[in-house]
A and B are shown apart, each in its own frame.
Chain A
């Protein structure tokens, strides 16, 4: 990879390569907070609901501490120069998510539901599996560039994962969207969460090879570089795929996420703004086109425009054949009732949201019980993870690593935006989970893996480069970029 050897000297504004401190002790100190804060929150919930420190406090504290500790040791051993913020941020979000899931487990109203299961113990198990996967990534993925070899295998895997929910027998449609599959005896799985990573790997590998063609072979027209017709192929394929997801799985969120991720990576790879313009146009055309005949999406849009009307419709049978949900309005009420400082953990009524209160709508519970202050803090935590991810991309020395890091961070940012924006009524609601916080095994495990890959890239990026061997032919072998 010729271009990688000379790139550090160009990136003077990013992290200096020589003598960078490993920052592992910073990470350890931050992790301490990331464990202690949720433990206090857990005690807080118990005191508010049952007037006593919950019996499971010690176990919970030790469990979360162990997860954080194992993660930290693995990073210290296998990725010593990795970004010091990501692990503590993810641990804190995961810990707070566990607390709120446990808090919702205590709700009598949700317990009365037929489908109620205690979610917190399962989520703790999923978190452990997630951290295990993170450790596995760190151990077995010595260099992220290895992933480049699996570009097309990743594509096949991603397509398979995306198609899985449509396979009869595996499919488990829930409330309109078909993004779950059933694994007999194990529960349900959202393959889309894993497809996100596989697709990022594929796009990074593909674009790294094709980016020059995509960037340079174009005509200028009205200030925009118009790509050649045959170069439009890949974006068209991804676009069609997104549309198919939208049509067959009726899931706006996943569709938007994948297409958005591709456009971001394409833009970074080619440095051509025209791709953004094309991407926006195509997603607008796709979304509007599909929404014109898909009633599930129309309902979501009308619920977004007038949640109160949707609430009334859900309360009065009107026989229009559509499924109306009061959840959008219930979520808004939860946020509004929380106000600036919230009711305090365990003292709100966000269980009124009912179904999916601890998954898709979990942010509403944060909103009601921790208030504006709490939600802003959570959003900033997400913002920090994303920005550390983009910073990793900046620091990375190889284009594949850059593309992969920005793809994963961008997808993460889009996912947070789509979920949080949906729950808060900023955009139409789509069924997706808030990374690390929401209840759901696929989401937690996949996002821990995502953090693992970002840690690996950042480790490679920040690792002091071996002193370059004196090269007698330096003058003659300057690389000329094509």
Chain B
């Protein structure tokens, strides 16, 4: 009986060997994959196992961590003034994951980033508890407050984006209606899940979790005329602000029998660029678009940042300017209608490039990544993104935009002792323009030390009538208070 016994011994050995091989497979070969699987709760447990680092604005943390009594997670994220800062921070929820800065800089905030390895090792040796690093943003608390309060007071859906033109630092990024990320930061199946579900788009048509400043594209309406004017100047179609343009009135769009209308009875016949921008003449800018053609318009729009997603590091949606349009469609697109659509940040970039004498700086909102004891790990340096127009042309456009505020549709944005340039806009949308129009205002302020701020405001409002005054009436006051906040904080 011993021969089969020896074979059984080998068989049992093979069983154990199979187990050993399988164990090596799951614990060595596949270990990393299993360990970091997004459904593996250990990932979240680790994320909330130590106090999370903070997101900082103007030297003050706008986030926090508090100890919880839960069985899994030791700490929970808290937010100071959550709804106001939500478009900047995003959320970090034990139950629902994280997004935007909270997700992008998760490595720093949890302290797991490789750059913190040395620090963590030191902490371990000295017996200190692991802590996350901080993310210092470029935002300006006063400007953000002005933007958010302005939108809130206005009451409609809307967004504000403000940039420092000389660097591209994002100063304000507000979206309304907003949400409080604290409300679902935990993992309670009652309160947190409830709060989360109430914020979902399918339950809440206002879609409060949408970051309108970065992720929603709106037809920019007349504010796009700034881009069209820049294209006219850059392509030498017209060379100064005060020469007459060749614009008949009425003007029939090429290839059609449709007459492009102006809003009201305004002096647009052969109007100068300055007058055309001041009164927001559709005919003048529509004709410029059709004269230049799709390619040249697209080229200029691209220089301002259209058609590309941007990482601030939070991703923005790509703004739209089509590449397959006939002259009449190009004409409509050049006055910010037809397919043209832009994020609020994109329109702030337009104003910013003009204010910065033609140079567009890449917008960013993370200034510095720090260790938990405030040593800098990485600093963002301002970076030139493109040069949509020459310094001379930029100055011509500035003088035109300043006329709009000084003596045109944007009077509501005037600030004592500060040069302000801007452009209003009201955009129709929906089938047969059936939905609420958008009131737009883009502007920049200019002091002796250059331009400290460029801003774009958009408001969706059923009170916005179809004339351009709406942009000036609803959006310009918010832009003004944001600019004032920035200027005051620099004093």
Contact = CB atoms under 8 A, between A and B. Distances in A.
B24 interface: yes
Contacts of A371: 27
A421 B12 CA distance: 14
B4 A268 contact: yes
B1 A337 contact: no
B35 A337 contact: yes
B5 interface: yes
Contact of A339 (B20, B35, B72): B35
Given A336-B30, A372-B28, A380-B16, 8 more contacts: A335-B34, A372-B27, A376-B20, A376-B23, A393-B5, A413-B12, A413-B16, A426-B19
A206 to B, nearest CB: 15
A250 to B, nearest CB: 24
10 contacts: A108-B71, A109-B71, A269-B1, A333-B35, A339-B27, A372-B24, A375-B27, A379-B23, A380-B20, A425-B22
B8 interface: yes
B42 interface: yes
Interface in A316-372: 329, 332-333, 335-340, 349, 352, 367, 371-372
Interface stretch (A41-49, A187-195, A222-230, A383-391): A383-391
Contact of A410 (B12, B24, B37): B12
Contacts of A367: 23, 26-27
B31 A386 contact: no
Interface in A3-41: 11, 13-14
A267 interface: yes
B12 A352 contact: no
B71 A387 contact: no
A78 interface: no
A81 B15 CA distance: 29
Interface-central residue, B13, B28, B42, B72, by most chain A CB under 10 Å? B42
Ranked nearest first, the 4 interchain pairs of A and B with the lowest CB-CB distance are A336-B34, A372-B27, A383-B16, A108-B71
A424 B23 contact: yes
A264 interface: yes
B45 to A, nearest CB: 6
Interface-central residue, B1, B2, B37, B72, by most chain A CB under 10 Å? B1
A382 B23 contact: no
A371 B35 CA distance: 12
A399 B5 CA distance: 11
Interface-central residue, B16, B32, B72, by most chain A CB under 10 Å? B16
Nearest to B29: A336
B266 interface: no
Contacts of A416: 15-16, 19
A257 interface: no
Contacts of B35: 333, 336-337, 339
Contact of B12 (A112, A333, A372, A409): A409
Interface-central residue, A269, A335, A337, A399, by most chain B CB under 10 Å? A337
Nearest to B26: A335
Interface string B291-320: 000000000000000000000000000000
Nearest to A414: B15
Contact of B3 (A269, A271, A333, A352): A271
